[in-house]
Structures are given as structure tokens and as C-alpha cells.
A and B are shown apart, each in its own frame.
Chain A
């Protein structure tokens, strides 16, 4: 295809940037170059380039201490990466290298420390990598951070009287997309607009305060609490409140992001990232009137073409999630314009441009702009990417064996059909989710829920991706790169191979198929293979025979209904109560229970404690001693045969391993009598009795449900020197989440959907313990 730049013919008037008149290493010899953002993608390679190929250049790096790591630690860790290996070996180790060539300045944006007074060039390439940061954060880094950095930089070259001692060079790394929603050719010059960056910054900071306050209003908190309760009500107040707070923080962040995006769009930018970057450029020009200043604007930076090695990349960039999702067969169609130019530039070209710019001497006060982009002279359209990626995956399928998926053929139907599909998908998954929440618990339902979750995940991914990057997939602009080309052409012939950056000089098929696609797919393939191996290895369900912990310091807590025993309190009530009643009263009682069942089920969905209390009211008038005798003689066989054999085996294994076994249940005490030989401690609901030993229908204390179980476990552990981090818990329903969270090895047994999701998110083992009784469920064994 013909390049957009060729349509303009030979130019009569061209701005000539300052050019190079020697080898880069000589031009930069003796200089001290300070950098920000060396722990990032571009910064890392930049540091590598200076250290490797400019031996007489000193460097300084501004690095933010992170947690317990000092700035020095972080730089040392950076230098231990593979690309630095040769340089480190040559210098005789990381410490000697740092001492000889790298000055570490601990500091942060916008709290920049005093800078050393011998910096010749300052390259600022720190910044957010996210396209959708909250608005205040975007301005803090890109405007206030940049301002603080330049202030400190000018301060470092100014004497006590306020006069410049010498004239340094400030190189600002921005982005080509500061052009915003403009169309057509974008020149290498300041964008024309009249937005007041300080006013915007202040407004952004105020917005953050405002939203923080708004999130604490009673209306907002009520709404969030209700959302949290819908999921976690059964688990208890603390779990709900934790989730409410998490939702509040999430809401604030979401609103700040939305505020940023909308503000950016209202002024002509695609998102707050490019908007804040554009404001940053403006402040650079304003503050650097008296020094040399250049701005480098890379487009979409992807893996390196040649240096440090082909395909070098850190993390995922913009195009990569789509490439992977396509390879995995998750994207049947995509709403991009097939002819939109996706302006990709290899990372080493950007770094080379920056190094070359550092070696130039622009005129004081006249800012130079350089576009690092391929769109003008070597454009790659979205359809081009699609074809390249498809060709790559045809040769190297992502999913193999039974996991294979057909490669989708994209017809580029435009935005609307895909959005419609997304909308339908969302509605359908929501409805299915609701329907599943009423489905009885079974393996098949869990499988359906897993599939539903996967589908939801794919829809969410597509939705989020399109929200963030959608505009870039429709872009109809190209970045003129005449200045960058001129700079490239002025490279010394000996530097052209190592430091060249002519974006028309490489072939996209080679880059996409041989360099870029493998560089992002191979690590993910390896990661997934490792994850698959780990998944096959059970995580929290451990082999107890291999356990070597000190006996008596570990406990294993078990839930009863649904975990150890396949029954429920209504059924056990019937078994326990019926024999005491005469024939007609039995029918009456069963009828009453049946009519009350819907209300019980409702209560169970809301609060298990309430549900248990309602059921236990029915025990009113029962003779407790008689009940116990009946359980021992007649119900014990029934109860034992309802137990899962695997559960019994596991409990016994715990005992053999010297663990304390604890049964925590909301079931009434008499019904736990058959388990007395299996558990060291049984915590059950106690029926209150009157003077004649008849049940009053009330409990003598609240039933043990939800958070009271975790509290009980913690207190028990503290009294008996038990290490909960090495302990086990087994449960089946979402109500038991707090209990499972309290121990180090929680195991989920034939879970409901809520708990299954929680277990997957936390990486807990899920096991199935079916009750394999040879006796049918409704038959009472004779003896």
C-alpha cells in the first residue's frame, strides 16, 4: 500500500532539527545523563543502551523506593536481568557497575529530591502505562510530576543569584497520541489548543476529593451494602462490610476514571492518558524556555526488532491481548476498521531515537519534536495485523490437542453488530446467573456455572478492551516523522546498524510473525503449561501422610450438612420427630412442614441462622432424653449411612496424623451423637429444655453459623496452642467462607456456586465427596 507521506510530494519547506555530526558514543562521551522511569519498559532498554554502547557516559537514575526495597535495591535487581548480564560481567559485578556508572537518586514524582548539579541531559520517561488511570493520578504524574522534575532540574543548574550556570538539555518522552482526536497528518510540532493545564489539574484534584466524599454519603453506602449483601449476606456482617468497603473504593476509582475520560473527550482527546500527556507537553514548553528541550512522541511501542535481542519485551502492550485472545479462539469477530492504521513501533527504534536526541544540541528555548511512528511511511493496517497474526497462529497454533480451537475469520462488520452481540451476551449471562442461583446443587450445575463464568470473563475482556482502546482501532491520523527521519539520516554510518531508527526500513511480516507474536505468545504458553501442572497438583487438599507438623498443633474443622453428610436439617427433623407422633399427627406434621417449606427456603437464602431457628422451633414439646435414645438406637445407622465414605476416611486420616478434629455445625446436639468417635470436639446447637426435660423449641445459644465459626476457631486456637495457618477446614456452602478463610488449608467439598467461585478465586482445592450408601435415602434401616 502507498504510504500516507508519499501523497504530499516533495516538500519545499522542511523544518530541519539539530543534526548529529559524529558517532553517538563520542558525542555523548563525558556527559552525564539522568533518567526517570528506568524500571519501565523503554527506560530499561535506554539504560541498557547507554551502559553498553556509550562507555564514556555517566548515568543517573531517579528511582522510587518501593515497600521495603530501597532505590538502590531496585536498580540492583534491574541490573540482574538477563539483558544486563554481559555489562555486569564486564564491570565485575552489579555493585562495581553501579559505583562506576550509575548514580541512584531515590525519589518520586511529584516529590522530586534535589538533583545533582552535574546533569547534562535529563530524560523523563516515567509515567503511567495505563490508558485509564483515575483523573487525579493522571494529572499528578504527568503535569505536577513533570513540573516538579523540571523545577528541580533548572534549580540544579542555577546559582544562588538565580542565574543559569550552564544550559542543559531536557528530553521529554510523551506519546504520539497527544494529538487526541485530530485526524489526518500530525506534524512534529506543538498541538494547537488553548486548554489551561493548571486549571485542569486543580479541577482533577478537586474531583478526587469530591468523589471520595460522595462515596461516603449514606445513599451511596446503602446502595453498595445492598450489592454486597446480595452475595455475602449469609456469610455474615464482617464479610459483607469488607466487601462493601472494597466496592466503595472500586466505585471511587471507576468514577474517577469515567470523569477523566469524559473530561478528555469534552476537550478533544481520546482519554485522560493522552489528555494529561498533552498537558505535560505544554508545561515542558512553558518551563524550559531557557534551556534546550526536545520532546519524543512514540506511537504504540511493542517488542524490539533487534536490540537487546529480537522480540525483547516487558509485559503486555496494547495489541497483545487481542493477539492472544485471537490465538485462543476467544474472539469470533472484532469491531475495528480494517483500514485503521495501527501505528506500531519497535521498542529499540524508540530507544535509539532517544539516544540520538540526547546527543543533539537544540537551540535554547526552541522545543524540538520527534515522532517515533511507522504510520507515515510504513503503515500497518488493522487488517494487516489480523492477516499476520492469523498466519502466525496457522503455523503455530496456540491451543493444541483436545483444547484446539478453530481460528476465527474476521469480516470486520463494524462496531454495531459487535456491540449488539456484547449487549445480548451480557443480558443472557446475567439471566443465566440468576437462574443458576436457584438450581439445586450438583456437579452439573457447577460445571454450567464455570462455563458461564468463562463466557462472562470473555465478554468483560472484550468490553473493557473496546472501552479503552476502541478509539485507537478507528484512528484516521498519521504521524509525520520528517524530523525523526532527518535525525536518522544524520547518524554516522558506523552507527546506522546499531542505532538506526528508520521506521520504513523493516518488513511487517517478519516483525509480526517472527519477532513480535512469538515474543508475547511463548512466555504465556510456558506460563499456562506451568499453571496447568499446578492445577493438576492439589493445592490445599494435602497428603496428610506426608505431614510432619508437631502433633496437637493442627486442627481440622468440618462442617456437617452437605460436607460430611448428605442430608439437611429438614430431613433430619422429620426422621427425629416422626416416630414420636401418632399416625394422623404425623401426616399433619408433614403437611405443616410442607406448607412452611417455601418460607424456610426464603429464610435460608437470606440468613441461615434465622432459618435454623425457625426449623428448631418445631422441636417444641419433644422429650430430649427420648430423642437421644432414639438417635442412638434408630437414627445412628441412618445418619452413618448418609455420610460420605471419603469424608470419614479424611477425618480419620487427620486423627492419625495427630490433628484435632472439630465438628462445627448448626445441627442440634443429639443428632451429632453418632459422630462422637470421629471428632475430638463437637460444637452443635443446644436445644433448651424445661424442667421436665422437654424441648422449648428455642436454642440455649445462637446457632453456630457463618462468622461465629471463624471467631470460635480463632479463640479455640489461641487457647490450645493451635497454628491455624497449618490447619484445615472443610465446608460446602458460601456461608462457611469465614471459617474457611480462617485456616491455612481450606478445602471446599461439593460446593454451591458462590463458594465454588470463591474457591477458584483463592486457589483452594475443590473435592467431591459423594455419599455412596447402598441403602436408599428414604428407607430407614431396620437394624
Chain B
């Protein structure tokens, strides 16, 4: 069992603390009295088979999986991929989960098995991704017959499930026509997954679910509609904090516990970054892998099991923080953003900082209303033409026109009907264009409570486009923030690269 997370209040004797912004590393002394939130200690991953078996034998709110499978059952394993931990898992736990389910199915004599990847609006999986996540064994036995598919939100053959609020909800054909759907996923965050609503619908439903006027009742009604028409069973692994290997190993350890090796690797990584920023960024920070300890595996009836998985994660990761702060400081490390991108797109960086990290709390926000967020990321406006074409256009055309989600309806509809985006989504494994918009909607919603967002070391033009501000140094950012929060604000720093959960009291 790992040591829990904690908060330290810096004083004169506190050592310099690590910040990772984009692909830049630094050790800095924070002002006296700053609260630094450390996530729970990260551990090496262990073999989860025992936990999986236990969960499958004693599922919550359901019979054991083996009992629900007969030889004629039409079984579909749905691999949830709309929320996945970053950095990427070195040993993807979903592979173990899928393999175990398939073994049980094989034992039960089930022939008709297929795997559907539910990525929502995110990029679809290429054959390479399938092999990487699910392993050679699964990929080679399912791929040739076309029994693994990555859900296509734009597909023509989606099945209408029924109407909610005058809107027809369509679902993936294979899933809709299955006798049993086993949903496999990993819990890394405090929000419970909403089973299948995670991403097996058509574009229009996704638009309604994640749009500006999305409402809780609508989402609930959709979830109920799905629950009523699809027989589902959830299998969910709860993950601990990321554990980094190799040169970056020091990043997931506490600074005062660094050994000589950690210190040397920090200096090496920092100096390499200063000498050759792009190469170092790509080699070290673009696509790092991390180990995740599997805390528990939960199985059973979707709603109950998902809630339990979230509760387990919360229990393991919650850190008591005293009071909402005037200023919350959030370094955004490139490694926790997109794959193969040493810096990360600015929109994803904003999402990581303002939605994922700032929003990681148990009800009482980390930031007091009207407080200031200081985030750290270069916000370089570089986009991949293939993966982020829509984000690039969003940046060049939509943001200069408006930053208000309420005014973007026309743009997001046009983007959904765009043939080029559609072809990139289908053939080139790009994100669906709607994803960029919905990411921005969430960012905009998350910043409503803050009076200002200041990016340290951020590109000024990008920050300006976001309606945020940019500062060269942390000191300058505090100087800017002092207009709103005064000279002696209370400051909370979220220490990376793990994801701390604030239990603000």
C-alpha cells in the first residue's frame, strides 16, 4: 500500500520544488506559506489477475460474469477509451481485463465475441493502437476477422435506441445487437464513469451531451435509455498514481527523498532540455510511459460498480486541504497531454490545467470564487495537420471571432459537417472536430469561477486568444494576480505529474 498524499506548507527550510511545464523542468523555491499538494505516492504496477478474478467472482449488483454467459450468447467487450490516464500506462491494465473476460467467455463456450473500442469523439484506434493496448494475442485473433472495431461516431449503421427529448439516440450496431456487453475500463479520476454514454453514440447525441446547453436530466435520460436496452456488465480497474521510470524517475518522487541518482538525472534532463529543447522534448516528454498500481478491480452492474470504482479512487487519493485558495498554481507537463507531441496543443493544455487538475476536488473547489489560476505551459500553437486539423482551424478562425461557447454553435455544426475533418477522423485517426469544441466548452465553464488565468511562460498571442493572460515568470504572474488577490494571497500548488484530489475543508 502506498503512502497517502499530503499538503506541505513551505517555510524557509523547504527545499526547491520541481515544476514541469511543457517539456521544461525546473527546481524553484516557492514563497513562504505556499501550500503544496502532493498526490499519493506512486508504486510499480503489480499483476492484477488476482484482483480481477476476485471482482469477477463477487460482482456488485450482478451475478458473476461466468454465470451470465451461455454458449449462444452474443458477447461484446467494450473497451472504454474516452478517459484514459496520462501518461500512458506501460502495462495497459485493460489488456488484462479483456483477456480475462475472453478467457471466461471461451470457458463458457461463447463463440460470438467482438471487441468495440469506445473512444467517443477522440481518435479512433489504428491497428497499431489495438496491438499496443490489447496485445498481440487479442489483436491477432480478432483483427483478421474484423472482430475488433473502433466505434465510428459518423458511421451509417448506428441503431436508433429511442427518443429522448425529441432527439433520436443512436448506438453502435454491434453493441445494440449484443446479448451482453462487458464494459472494460480504468478509473483514474474522481468522477464515476457513466457506462456506455462514454462514447458509443452518433455525433448528434454527443453534441447534445457535451454541448453548451447540455443538461443533467438529458444525460440521465440517455443513460437510462441505454441501460434499458443494453444488458451490460462493468469491469473496472482503479489505478493509483503514475510511476515514472528511467531518466524521469525523480519526477514521481518527493524532492527531499531524491537520492544522488535522482539528482543527477534531474540535472541531466534539465541540461539536455536547455541544449536541445526539441529533441529532448520529443525523447523524454512526448510519449512517456508510466506504471500504475492497480488499487482494486470492481465488477458488476454498471451504475453501482462505476460509483464504487470512483469511491475507491477517491478514498485512495483524497488529500485534505484547508480552505479554498486565492491562487491555485498548476504546472502542465507535456507528458500528460497528447501522444507524440513534445509540447502539447494549447487547448489540451488548458483542459488539463483548468478542467482536469483544477476540477479534481470533492465538491468544495480548490480555488475560491474570484481567485486567480496560475498555470504553467508554453501554449505553443503547433498542431498536427492530421490529428488536430480541427483544433488548428478552431485556433485560427473560431477563437479570434469569439471565445464564448454560446456563440460557437454555428461553428461546431459546420465542423461536424465538414468532409475533410470527417475523412481525417475516419481514415487518419484524427480526433472528431466536435471534441475540440467540447474541450473548449469545458475549459470555458471551468474558468467561470476564476477572475483570471495567467500562463507562466505562455505564448502571449495564445493566452490572449483564450482571453487569458501571459507572464514571463512565476513572480510576474503573482504580480499580475496581486491586482485581484492582493499582495499576500493564499496559494495552493498542485504538484505533478500525478493527479491529486483535493478534499477542501
Q: What residues of A have a CB within 8 angstroms of the CB of B342 in the complex?
A: 774
Q: Cβ of A772 and Cβ of B383 under 8 Å apart?
A: yes
- Segment among B41-49, B121-129, B317-325, B435-443 that sits at the interface with chain A: B121-129
Chain A interfacial positions (CB closer than 8 Å to B): 636-637, 640-641, 643, 645, 648-649, 652, 674, 677-678, 772-776, 779, 781-783
| 18 further contact pairs, Cβ within 8 A, besides A640-B424, A641-B385, A678-B420 | A636-B386, A636-B427, A637-B428, A641-B386, A645-B385, A645-B389, A645-B392, A649-B392, A652-B393, A652-B418, A772-B381, A773-B384, A773-B385, A775-B384, A776-B278, A781-B340, A783-B127, A783-B128
27 contacts between A and B (CB under 8 A): A636-B386, A636-B427, A637-B428, A640-B386, A640-B424, A640-B428, A641-B384, A645-B383, A645-B392, A648-B420, A652-B420, A674-B428, A677-B419, A677-B420, A677-B423, A678-B420, A772-B381, A773-B384, A774-B340, A774-B343, A775-B340, A776-B278, A776-B279, A776-B282, A779-B282, A782-B128, A783-B126
Question: Is B341 interfacial (CB 8 A cutoff)?
Answer: yes
7 pairs of A and B residues whose beta carbons are closest in the complex: A783-B128, A783-B126, A640-B386, A677-B423, A774-B341, A772-B382, A645-B392
1/0 per position for B175-197, CB-CB distance to A under 8 A? 00000000000000000000000
Question: Is B396 interfacial (CB 8 A cutoff)?
Answer: yes
Q: Given known contacts A641-B385, A774-B342, A774-B343, is B393 in contact with A649 (CB within 8 Å)?
A: yes
Question: Is B429 interfacial (CB 8 A cutoff)?
Answer: yes
Q: Cβ of B383 and Cβ of A636 under 8 Å apart?
A: no
A640 CA to B342 CA, complexed, in Å: 18
Q: What residues of B have a CB within 8 angstroms of the CB of A774 in the complex?
A: 340-343, 382-384
- Give the distance to chain B from A773, nearest Cβ to Cβ, in Å: 7
Q: What residues of A have a CB within 8 angstroms of the CB of B382 in the complex?
A: 772-774
1/0 per position for B136-178, CB-CB distance to A under 8 A? 0000000000000000000000000000000000000000000
Q: Cβ of A648 and Cβ of B282 under 8 Å apart?
A: no
A773 CA to B392 CA, complexed, in Å: 11
Q: What residues of A have a CB within 8 angstroms of the CB of B385 in the complex?
A: 640-641, 643, 645, 648, 773
Q: What residues of B have a CB within 8 angstroms of the CB of A773 in the complex?
A: 382, 384-385
Q: Given known contacts A774-B384, A782-B128, is B340 in contact with A636 (CB within 8 Å)?
A: no
Which chain A residue has the least Cβ–Cβ distance from B127?
A783
Which chain A residue has the least Cβ–Cβ distance from B418?
A652
Q: What residues of A have a CB within 8 angstroms of the CB of B278 in the complex?
A: 776
1/0 per position for B330-356, CB-CB distance to A under 8 A? 000000000011110000000000000
A776 CA to B276 CA, complexed, in Å: 13
1/0 per position for B382-400, CB-CB distance to A under 8 A? 1111100100110011000
Q: Cβ of A783 and Cβ of B392 under 8 Å apart?
A: no
A724 CA to B277 CA, complexed, in Å: 47
A748 CA to B427 CA, complexed, in Å: 31
A492 CA to B393 CA, complexed, in Å: 80
Q: What residues of B have a CB within 8 angstroms of the CB of A779 in the complex?
A: 282
- Give the distance to chain A from B9, nearest Cβ to Cβ, in Å: 39
Q: What residues of A have a CB within 8 angstroms of the CB of B389 in the complex?
A: 645, 648
Which chain B residue has the least Cβ–Cβ distance from A640?
B386
A485 CA to B382 CA, complexed, in Å: 78
Q: Given known contacts A641-B385, A774-B383, is B420 in contact with A783 (CB within 8 Å)?
A: no
- Give the distance to chain A from B153, nearest Cβ to Cβ, in Å: 18
| A641, A648, A774 — most chain B CB neighbours (10 Å) | A774
A26 CA to B278 CA, complexed, in Å: 90
A773 CA to B341 CA, complexed, in Å: 9
Q: Cβ of A637 and Cβ of B386 under 8 Å apart?
A: yes
Q: What residues of B have a CB within 8 angstroms of the CB of A674 in the complex?
A: 428
Q: What residues of B have a CB within 8 angstroms of the CB of A648 in the complex?
A: 385, 389, 420
Q: What residues of A have a CB within 8 angstroms of the CB of B427 in the complex?
A: 636
A250 CA to B423 CA, complexed, in Å: 55
Q: Cβ of A649 and Cβ of B396 under 8 Å apart?
A: yes
Q: What residues of A have a CB within 8 angstroms of the CB of B282 in the complex?
A: 776, 779
Q: What residues of B have a CB within 8 angstroms of the CB of A636 in the complex?
A: 386, 427-428
A637 CA to B424 CA, complexed, in Å: 10
1/0 per position for B258-283, CB-CB distance to A under 8 A? 00000000000000000000110010
Q: What residues of A have a CB within 8 angstroms of the CB of B424 in the complex?
A: 640, 677
- Give the distance to chain A from B465, nearest Cβ to Cβ, in Å: 15
A774 CA to B386 CA, complexed, in Å: 11
A774 CA to B279 CA, complexed, in Å: 11
Which chain A residue has the least Cβ–Cβ distance from B422?
A677
Q: What residues of A have a CB within 8 angstroms of the CB of B397 in the complex?
A: 649
A735 CA to B302 CA, complexed, in Å: 64
Which chain B residue has the least Cβ–Cβ distance from A647?
B385
A546 CA to B384 CA, complexed, in Å: 28
- Give the distance to chain B from A320, nearest Cβ to Cβ, in Å: 45
| A637, A645, A677 — most chain B CB neighbours (10 Å) | A645
